[in-house]
Every structure is written in structure tokens, then in C-alpha cells.
Amino acid sequence: MDALVSLAKRRGYIFQSSEIYGGMNACWDYGPLGVELKNNLKRLWWQTMTQWRDDIEGLDAAILMHPKVWEASGHVENFTDPLVDCKTCKGRFRADQLDQARCPQKPSKSPGQCGGGLMEPRKFNLMFKTHIGPVEDAGAVCYLRPETAQGIYVNFLNVQAPARQKIPFGIAQIGKAFRNEISPGNFIFRSREFEQMEMQFFVKPGTDMEWFERWRDARIDWHKALGLSADRLRFHPHGPQELAHYAKAAVDIEFKFPFGWQEIEGIHDRTDFDLKRHMEYSGKDLSYFDDAAKERFVPYIIETSVGADRLALTALVNSYAEEEVKPGDKRTVLRLHPTIAPIKAAVFPLVNRDGMPEIAQKIAADLRKRFKIFYDDTGAVGRRYRRMDEAGTPFCVTVDSDTLKDQTVTVRERDSMQQIRVPIAGLADHLEKACAFEAP
Ligand code: ATP
């Protein structure tokens, strides 16, 4: 992890928020490469959900919602973690994660071992509270949403009717969520401000388990198609003790990080809990009339929920490698799937003379209409390759003396380091094909 965090900073992927002021704990800023990676992940997820199927619609709901939403959802009462305080060092820890926590006193030790006893656990609500309008009284309280899902539930009929969708169908949303986590950490794995990509699939009661299994399988296949190693992925089904108050069935997709197996996505059968609670709290009917069967029911919901930041970290961890190319020659490489790689290709003139820079610049300008391209003419070509390996760039295009004769260029592939000749005229199509995502 240390090597990855340092590469992320050095290459402009991710750095701490407000760094010049000492940093803002558990908040992160994405630099030029990081924002491209995260945008590519979001674009791919959005296409998977809303473009490549005709039964899912998109939505972008507001972050600030009516405070009653969070009473109905159960967040005001239940969105808590058990918090324990240390009487001596005043450290605060999650009672259910004490084995992973470290006391802030140095040298590092387990919570409570600094001499102080731990107090009894108490409930700590993770929602960020604020006030809407200029008066800070109880009536003006509102929350930063801790998940995007509720924006989908309250808009269920607003989306269904104009989109003329029939059940089963889904609503997808990408957006920021905020949680005042007690023990954030592991870089961007657990932060206080993060982005979620959530899809809620509305189904007829009785068909929910079938859809739950379908979505569980579809989602793990998607992660594999993205290049996440199959042997670092597994399902973690929730036992009765772990199930959230709203869920009938739940499974986490877990990835093996350097700090252990951890959830990257959750798939939940939320039953009709959410819609029924919003019906009760709002007094509005959110039931659905099935024209064909002439029956009215409150749909069950299957949810798929994955964090964009956590997925970015997963992709980085999965792709990071240090290898010896030949004795004494080491390289660091990010083997990102080309479809999410921040820069798709770098273009180099072999030398800065004989018209090569002009040709290379023209090629780069043409490719830029379709891809994110980086032009580099400084240093030896080997050094330029290494810089691109570290940035995760899948292809390097070099203009050399043969280009002047036959209008072809060298295309060097990042992982195999194989080089082939490609005609300039076919270069964009070649890259398009090589960067394609094979939908599962
Ligand atoms: P945990 O038990 O780890 O706190 P959770 O079960 O509360 O997580 P969900 O509410 O199911 O998580 O959230 C769905 C997804 O949102 C998670 O799988 C994860 O990818 C992402 N996510 C949740 N909390 C955070 C966070 N604090 N930072 C980054 N991503 C998060």
C-alpha cells in the first residue's frame, strides 16, 4: 500500500484534501490521472447500466433531501456505529473493529493498551447534520445524504411513468455520499466524502430471489471483465446476524486488498421495506399497477451498490506491479484495463529531428479527437516507456525513420512490451479495438 500511495501522489493520481493546511482527514483530491480513472469507471458503469440495457433509467437526485426521508429510511434511528472512547488518550474507535484499530499513542499499540480503560460502547450516528436557510433551529436541520439510494426510492413513480417502464426495471444513479466514519482509513478505501454508483431494480414480490441471484452474478462478472483477478474476488453472503434491518438477503463482493478481504460492492434484497416506509411517512401511494395482470402491488427492490472511489482503489491495487524486465532493469507498471486507463496512448518522436516531431504532433492531434493522448519528446525512449508504464498508459506510439518511408509507426503494448508496426491511417481504429471493454 505504501508504494501505491506514493505512486498515486507522485504521478498525480490522488492526494490528500487541503494538504498545504496539514490535510483534511479522510477526504481526498483526484489529480489529472485520478480524475480520468474515476470518470472512466463511472462512464463504464453508467453505460453498463443505462446504455447497454433497455430496462434501467438514469437519475441525478439532489444531495440535500427532506429530513423526513432519513426518518422513513431508518437512518436517523439506525445509521449508527458503536463507538468506544479511551479514558486515557481520548482515542475513539469502532467497537466492532477494535482488532484492526491502533491507539494514537506511540509506539503503536492496540486500543486500551495505553493504560486507560475503554468506556462502554455508545451509538454514534454517521450522518453529517447541517441547517438549511439562515436560521439554525431544529426545524431547519437537514443531512448530507449517506447513500444515494433514497433519492431513487422517493422518485420511483416520477421515473417509471414518463420513461414508460414496466416492472421489472431499474433506476441507476451516481453521486456523492457522506458518512462521518469513526475510523476511516486505508487511503481512499474508507473516506468521509465518497461517490456511490447505485442501481435499484424494482421487481414483483416473489421474483426477488431470482433477480437477487442474477444481479449478484452479473456484478461479479463485470468486475472480472474489468480485469480484477478472479482469485482476488469472492462473495461474502450475510448471515442472519449481519443482515441490515431492511434486507431479506445480502451478499458482498469482496476483493483481497493488502490489508485483507474487504467489501467493494453490496447486493441486497431490500424487499418492499423502503417504498412502504416512504408511503407511511409521506402519505403518498407508491404502489405499482400491473396492467397486464390487472393487479396492484408494492415492488420489491434489488440493490447493487459500489463505491467509485473504492473501485478506483481496487483497480489500482489489482494492477500495480513491480517487475524485473531483465537483470538490473526494474519497472513499476499499472496494468489497468485499457478502457479505464487515464491516458490511452502516448505519442513519441524517436528523435527531435528529421521531421519526426511534426509527424508525431500531427498524429497526437488526430488521435486526441477520440482518446486522451500524451505527447512526450524528452529523454530516451526507454525512459519515456517507463514513465507511461507507471501512469498505466496501455500503448506507446513511436514515430521513427521507417515512418518517413512507409507511413507506419511502432505501437508498444504496456503489459507484454511487444512492439508491432501499424499504418498511421489505421492507428485510431487499432487503439479503439484494443481499448474496448468486452461486456460479460
Ligand atoms: P462498511 O460495512 O464497510 O462500512 P457498508 O456495508 O456500510 O460498508 P454500503 O452502505 O453497503 O457499505 O455501501 C455500498 C458501497 O459504498 C460499499 O460497498 C463501498 O464500495 C462504498 N462505500 C461505503 N462506505 C464508504 C466509505 N466510507 N468510503 C468509500 N466508499 C464507501
* Ligand 1 pocket check for 190: Cβ under 6 Å: yes
What's the confidence (pLDDT) of residue 255? Answer: 98
Does a structural domain hold residue 37?
A: yes
**What is the Å distance from ligand 1's center to 255 Cα?**
13
Q: What is the pLDDT of residues 13-72, one digit of tens each?
A: 999 999 999 999 999 999 999 999 999 999 999 999 999 999 999 999 999 999 999 999
User: What's the chain look like in SS3?
Assistant: CHHHHHHHHHCCCEEECCHHHCCCCCCEEECHHHHHHHHHHHHHHHHHHHHCCCCEEEECCCCECCHHHHHHCCHHHHCEEEEEEECCCCCEEEHHHCCCCCCCCCCCCCCCCCCCCECCCEEEECCCEEECCCCCCHHHEEEECCCCHHHHHCCHHHHHHHHCCCCCEEEEEEEEEECCCCCCECCCCECCEEEEEEEEEEECCCCHHHHHHHHHHHHHHHHHHCCCCHHHEEEEECCCCCCCCCCCEEEEEEEEECCEEEEEEEEEECCCHHHHHHHHHHCCCCCEEECCCCEEECCEEEEEEEEHHHHHHHHHHHHEEEEEEECCEEEEEECCCCCCCCCCEEEEECCCCCCHHHHHHHHHHHHCCCCCEEECCCCCHHHHHHHHHHHCCCEEEEECHHHHHHCEEEEEECCCCCEEEEEHHHHHHHHHHHCCCCCC
Give the whole-number percent of the chain exceeding pLDDT 70: 100
Q: What is the pLDDT of residues 243-262, one digit of tens each?
A: 988 899 999 999 999 999 99
Range 196-202 average pLDDT: 98
Report the chain's mean pLDDT, rounded to a whole number.
Answer: 95
Query: What does the alpha-carbon distance between residue 173 and residue 38 come to, in Å, rounded to a whole number?
Result: 15
Rounded to the nearest 5°, which phi and psi values hold at 56? -135, 130
User: What atom of ligand 1 comes closest to residue 262's alpha carbon?
Assistant: 3
What's the confidence (pLDDT) of residue 92? Answer: 86
User: What atom of ligand 1 comes closest to residue 147's alpha carbon?
Assistant: 10
**Nearest of 85, 139, 82 to residue 111 by alpha carbon:** 85
What's the confidence (pLDDT) of residue 105? Answer: 82
Q: Is there a single domain that holds both residue 278 and residue 375?
A: no
**What is the Å distance from ligand 1's center to 22 Cα?**
26
Q: What is the pLDDT of residues 108-147, one digit of tens each?
A: 788 888 877 889 999 999 999 999 988 888 778 999 999 9
* Ligand 1 pocket check for 191: Cβ under 6 Å: yes
Range of the domain at 37: 2-64+146-316
**What is the Å distance from ligand 1's center to 192 Cα?**
10
What CATH number has the domain bearing residue 31? 3.30.930.10
Query: What does the alpha-carbon distance between residue 100 and residue 115 come to, in Å, rounded to a whole number?
Result: 19
By most ligand atoms within 8 Å of CB, the mutation choice from 124, 310, 317 for ligand 1 is: 310
Q: With bands split at pLDDT 50, 70 and 90, how would you rate the model's confidence at 76? A: very high
**What is the Å distance from ligand 1's center to 236 Cα?**
14
One-letter amino acid at 115 equals G
User: What atom of ligand 1 comes closest to residue 192's alpha carbon?
Assistant: 27
Indicate if the pLDDT at residue 150 is higher than 80.
yes
What's the confidence (pLDDT) of residue 134? Answer: 85
**What is the Å distance from ligand 1's center to 307 Cα?**
7
Q: Is there a single domain that holds both residue 305 and residue 260?
A: yes
**What is the Å distance from ligand 1's center to 72 Cα?**
20
Does a structural domain hold residue 276?
A: yes
Q: What is the pLDDT of residues 348-361, one digit of tens each?
A: 999 999 999 999 99
How many C-beta atoms lie closer than 10 Å to residue 123's C-beta? 11
Does a structural domain hold residue 83?
A: no
Q: Is there a single domain that holds both residue 274 and residue 399?
A: no
Does a structural domain hold residue 160?
A: yes
Q: Is there a single domain that holds both residue 306 and residue 377?
A: no
Indicate if the pLDDT at residue 87 is higher than 90.
no
* Ligand 1 pocket check for 305: Cβ under 6 Å: yes
**What is the Å distance from ligand 1's center to 177 Cα?**
10
Range 324-339 average pLDDT: 94
**What is the Å distance from ligand 1's center to 19 Cα?**
25
Query: What does the alpha-carbon distance between residue 344 and residue 395 come to, in Å, rounded to a whole number?
Result: 6
342 CB-near residues (< 8 Å, 6+ apart): 32, 33, 34, 36, 37, 40, 372, 391, 392, 393
pTM of the model: 0.95
* Ligand 1 pocket check for 193: Cβ under 6 Å: no
What's the confidence (pLDDT) of residue 101? Answer: 82
Indicate if the pLDDT at residue 3 is higher than 80.
yes
Q: Is there a single domain that holds both residue 45 and residue 170?
A: yes
Q: Is there a single domain that holds both residue 201 and residue 256?
A: yes
* Contact present, 356 and 350 (Cβ < 8 Å): yes
Does a structural domain hold residue 84?
A: no
229 CB-near residues (< 8 Å, 6+ apart): 318
Nearest CA to ligand 1 atom 23: 307
User: What atom of ligand 1 comes closest to residue 184's alpha carbon?
Assistant: 27
Higher pLDDT: 95 or 343? It is: 343
Q: How many domains does the chain have?
A: 2
* Ligand 1 pocket check for 312: Cβ under 6 Å: no
Does a structural domain hold residue 112?
A: no
Q: Is there a single domain that holds both residue 243 and residue 381?
A: no
Query: What does the alpha-carbon distance between residue 93 and residue 83 come to, in Å, rounded to a whole number?
Result: 6
Q: Is there a single domain that holds both residue 301 and residue 348?
A: no
Q: What is the pLDDT of residues 215-230, one digit of tens each?
A: 999 999 999 999 999 9
Q: Is there a single domain that holds both residue 153 and residue 25?
A: yes
Nearest CA to ligand 1 atom 11: 266
User: What atom of ligand 1 comes closest to residue 81's alpha carbon?
Assistant: 4
Q: Is there a single domain that holds both residue 273 and residue 360?
A: no
Q: What is the pLDDT of residues 166-184, one digit of tens each?
A: 999 999 999 999 999 988 8
* Ligand 1 pocket check for 254: Cβ under 6 Å: no
Q: Is there a single domain that holds both residue 269 and residue 416?
A: no
Q: What is the pLDDT of residues 355-383, one digit of tens each?
A: 999 999 999 999 999 999 999 999 999 99
What CATH number has the domain bearing residue 370? 3.40.50.800
* CA quadruple 358, 360, 363, 365: dihedral sign: negative
* Ligand 1 pocket check for 309: Cβ under 6 Å: yes
Does a structural domain hold residue 106?
A: no
Q: Is there a single domain that holds both residue 182 and residue 293?
A: yes
By most ligand atoms within 8 Å of CB, the mutation choice from 17, 78, 148, 196 for ligand 1 is: 196
How many C-beta atoms lie closer than 10 Å to residue 405's C-beta? 8
**Nearest of 153, 171, 143 to residue 75 by alpha carbon:** 143
**What is the Å distance from ligand 1's center to 146 Cα?**
10
